[in-house]
């Protein structure tokens, strides 16, 4: 991959893998796939969910509410999640099996108590940016390949926002796993396809 291309590894953290606070089925299986494709990219960026313990998206912070219920917040509907990826805990750590020492940037998201953040580019209020688009553009990067967890939330939201920012976007399907909450996976793929996001298998790289 040339210098105008980057790999974006989304939330490959213990919190989203078996035994984590918000486990994604088979989440650990992405690690060897990511390690296989990452050396092909000169530019690598990672994201990391990085929540305070009192984060607004945690069901535990809403008495009487249960995980996976939804509430209305000033910026719209919010899924309530189990406590996960709390700042400074092992749950928030990137998987130690990742072999991406050449990664140049880690974008931490979801660290503001009152705003959730699925996307690597724009937080859930759809106004607060992470600065990632500007960083990529300053480096002359125009094409992004995405992988990570979870396909139907942080990967999909990141892919859609990347397209909105003008990047060519490809999702490496077998380097992702999904939560699939109430049909969210099928909807995510449909939304990504409609936005012009390509979908490939790692063997095609």
Would you please indicate which residues are annotated as catalytic (active-site) residues? Answer: 11, 109, 154
Q: Give the separation between CA 114 and CA 56, rounded to whole angstroms.
A: 5
C-alpha distance from residue 66 to each of 56, 71, 81, 112, 153 (Å): 13, 11, 8, 21, 19
Q: Is 102 exposed, middle or buried (0-12, 13-18, 19+ CB in 10 A)?
A: exposed
C-alpha distance from residue 93 to each of 47, 109, 113, 121, 169 (Å): 11, 13, 19, 20, 26
- Beta-bridged to residue 143, according to DSSP, are 5, 168
Q: Give the separation between CA 53 and CA 123, rounded to whole angstroms.
A: 18
Q: What is the maximal distance between C-alpha atoms in the chain? A: 52
Structure tokens given for 36: 């296989």
C-alpha distance from residue 89 to each of 51, 52, 74, 93, 145 (Å): 10, 10, 29, 7, 28
C-alpha distance from residue 61 to each of 64, 102, 110, 121 (Å): 9, 38, 15, 26
């Amino acid at each position: 991959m040339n210098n105008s291309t980057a790999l974006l590894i989304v939330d490959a953290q213990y919190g989203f893998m078996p035994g984590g606070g918000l486990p994604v089925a088979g989440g650990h299986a992405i690690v060897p796939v990511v390690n296989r494709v990452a050396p092909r990219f000169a530019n690598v960026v990672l994201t990391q969910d990085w929540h305070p313990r009192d984060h607004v998206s945690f069901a535990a912070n809403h008495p009487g509410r249960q995980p996976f219920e939804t509430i209305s917040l000033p910026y719209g509907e919010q899924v309530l999640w189990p406590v996960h990826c709390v700042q400074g805990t092992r749950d928030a750590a990137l998987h130690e099996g990742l072999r991406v020492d050449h990664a140049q940037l880690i974008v931490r998201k979801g660290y503001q108590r009152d705003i959730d953040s699925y996307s690597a580019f724009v937080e859930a209020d759809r106004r607060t940016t992470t600065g990632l688009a500007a960083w990529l553009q300053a480096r002359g990067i125009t094409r992004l390949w995405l992988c990570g967890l979870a396909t139907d939330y942080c990967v999909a939201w990141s892919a859609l926002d990347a397209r909105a920012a003008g990047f060519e976007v490809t999702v490496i399907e077998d380097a992702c796993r999904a939560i699939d909450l109430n049909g969210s996976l099928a909807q995510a793929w449909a939304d990504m396809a409609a936005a012009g996001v390509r979908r490939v298998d790692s063997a095609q790289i």
